[in-house]
Every structure is written in C-alpha cells, then in structure tokens.
Amino acid sequence: MPNMGLRWTKARRSYGSGACVELATGGEGVLMRNSRRPDDHIHHSMIEFAVFLEAAKNGEFDHLVD
C-alpha cells in the first residue's frame, strides 16, 4: 500500500526523542512505521491492533522497557 494520501499520526512521546512511531489507518487496518523509514511499515488488522492496544494498556509489555 503506497504511503501517499495516508494521514500519519506521531505519538506525543516521540517528539524530541528521535524514536518516532507513527500510525495511520489504511484499507481495513492500521499501519505503523518509524518516521526515519517512511516507506517501511507494518500493517495490522483492526482486530490485531485492538488486541495490541488492550495488552499495552494492561501493562503486558512493560517488562520490555524497564
């Protein structure tokens, strides 16, 4: 899926840190990319992304950044 026409949203915590995560909706899912590599993205279905968000909100990935 080309990146043209997608509206990318950068995570607020990304600003100033150099670790810029961006998301956009496209097709029937959500795309995620590192702003340093705008043509390289990962596509998730809406269900996959909802499961990921719920797990993140519940702290299931906190051990990865401690």
Q: What is the mean pLDDT of residues 45-54?
A: 96
Q: What is the mean pLDDT of residues 2-12?
A: 79
Q: Where are the domains of the chain?
A: 9-61
DSSP state of 16: T
Cβ–Cβ < 8 Å for 42, 31: yes
Q: What is the pLDDT of residue 38?
A: 84
How far apart CA 42 and CA 28 sit, in angstroms, is: 13
Cβ–Cβ < 8 Å for 42, 32: yes
What is the model's pTM? 0.76
Tell me the pLDDT tens digit for each residue of 24-47. 998 889 999 988 888 899 999 999
How far does Cα 11 stand from its chain's mean position? 8
DSSP state of 12: G
